[in-house]
Amino acid sequence: MKMNKKPQVSQTYDEMYALQGDEGAYTLPYQHSCYFPLYKQVRKALEEYDARQILEVGCGTGGLAHYLFDTTEIEYNGFDFSPIAVEKAMLRTKHPELFYVGDATNSESYKHGYDAIICTEVLEHVEADMEIIQNWKQGSLCICSVPNFDSTYHVRHFASKEEVFSRYSKLLDIRAIHTLKKPVLVNISITNKLKHIRWSRYRPLRFLELMGLGNFNKVGGWFVFSGYKK
């Protein structure tokens, strides 16, 4: 059955962020968020490539930024085309000077210096994903993610690493692509996880998924890829 897609405009995401997402997904502490494994993978890549000055394209409500502020000394700026997301990022991190509203397809949004781009949970939402990447500085490190699952908010998703490479290697010298399962819970705090494990003790498949042992193609996840802008 064909999925009814949301219009990919800033108002759509203003509404989404204003409602805080399922179970408060966009306001949870970063360590309790289902996106936390993705944040950790991004930080690992930043350390491997020795990034010093990053620009986050599509910062959302600032969960990744908050995690990086708490755990690294990397210089950071971030932008999003949703004013509500940017406002929440400012409030969450208490660093309003580091965030701004911007359109990733507009070269004017890349006004801050950077040696690395972070672009997670963005490219799948935008028809002009290649136009976004074309704005990135040649030689800059790029760390991105795209999903293997569809959504009313997605204009595309990917079935394999090969599909990811085929699309984005035109503009990026891709050095690595990792698969990363998305947690089946929105809130991955220990208290919430234990509660759901207890409820699922007679449902072996659900139990395995809660323990992170589910099938990547079934539970959904991300392809996280990194390399340099050509």
Q: Concatenated DSSP letters for 110-175?
A: --S--SEEEE-S-GGG-TTHHHHHHTSPTT-EEEEEEESS--TT-S---SSHHHHHHHHTTTEEEE
> What residues have CB less than 8 Å from 62, skipping those under 6 apart?
78, 85, 88, 89, 90, 92, 93, 99
Which domains does the chain show, CATH number per domain?
10-190+217-229 (3.40.50.150)
Written as six digits, the tokens of 95 are 């660093």
0.85 surpassed by pTM = yes
Q: Over the stretch 152-206, which tens digit does the pLDDT of each residue have?
A: 889 999 999 999 999 999 999 999 999 999 999 999 999 988 888 888 878 888 8
- Backbone phi, psi, residue 64, to 5°: -65, -45
Q: Over the stretch 89-129, which tens digit does the pLDDT of each residue have?
A: 999 999 999 999 999 999 999 988 999 999 999 999 999 99
